[in-house]
Amino acid sequence: MIEDKFELDEKLKHIAIIMDGNGRWANKRGLPREFGHSRGAETFKKIIEYCKDIKLNVLTVYAFSTENWKRPKKEVDSIMKLLSQYVKECEKSINKYDLCVRFIGDISVFEETLRTRIEKLQRVSANNKFILNIAFNYGGRNEIVYAANKLLSEGKEISEESLSQALYTSHCPDPDLIIRTGGDCRISNFLLWQAAYSELYFTDVLWPDFDKNELNKAINSFYSRKRRYGGLDKDSSSSDKQARKDTLC
């Protein structure tokens, strides 16, 4: 169980979050979906602050998928506006939070002013410590195809290692913990390659209602699990060794 005041250790370096449930949060209150996204953006900022306090190394957030373009233009436009506002705000807070901002996904679709702002934000924050990956216009399948094509065009062999290095996330370790809010238990095309051995945590809490207490519940759940990566628990392999020793004696 984590203490009231704690800092994360090397077991939990990277948390990724599927920030889902904004639309339902607004619907429940008889408000247009856009209100939910706007509240969701506030939650996102508070969670960044908290993750910085507990000394997380990498936070990745799923903000807009390659499939989210299917939504009504009004909703998509409101999300784009929130992104643009956040990019402006972020320019002022990168040093406060020591943020190294990286967009993962295809940002070539953005209009030039926003794209230039994002590129500048990435450049000026590149040496900061706390990595914030924003998955925007991101799709896991799309990313794997992009990485494979990149290797082919460079004449490189495709291996697990080279492919990992060609992904948008080559600058950070794979997520230790993936959290999804909003009650659905699926991945929705998020970090398909990187999630191979991530611990998954699903909660019914809608993203605008998510807070540091909810994040602590997810962290507690993570620390209660045993990661085996296909092997055996450390305890059971040492008791096996002891049993083998006993048999040999």
Chain residues binding Mg ion by CB under 5 A are 20
Q: Quick one: which of 12, 16, 22, 130 contacts ligand IPE (CB under 6 A)?
A: 22
Residue 27 appears among annotated catalytic residues:
no
Sheet hosting strand 130-138, strand order edge to edge = 99-104, 130-138, 58-65, 14-18, 177-180, 199-202
Place of tokens 């807009």: 64
Q: Which residue is nearest to ligand IPE (CB)?
A: 23
Please give the residues from 76 up to 95 whose contact with ligand IPE meets the rule CB under 6 A: 79
Q: Which of 27, 57, 68, 128 is catalytic?
A: 68
> Which residues lie below 8 Å from residue 225, measured CB to CB, with a gap of 6+?
199
Give the closest residue to 134 by CA, choosing from 76, 23, 198, 60: 60
The b-or-e profile of 92-102 (16+ CB within 10 A means b, else e) is: eebeebebbbb
Considering only 61-69, 89-97, 101-109, 121-129, which stretch makes contact with ligand IPE by CB under 6 A? Answer: 61-69
CB of 102 or CB of 163, closer to ligand IPE: 102
Which residue, 22 or 166, has its beta carbon nearer to ligand IPE? 22
As a dihedral over the C-alpha atoms of residue 84, residue 125, residue 145, residue 164, rounded to 10 degrees, the angle is -150
Verify whether residue 68 is a known catalytic residue: yes
- Binding-site member from 19, 47, 51, 59 for ligand IPE (CB under 6 A): 19
Active site (catalytic) residues: 20, 68
- Can you give the binding site for ligand IPE, defined by CB under 6 A? 18-24, 62-65, 68, 79, 182, 184, 186, 188
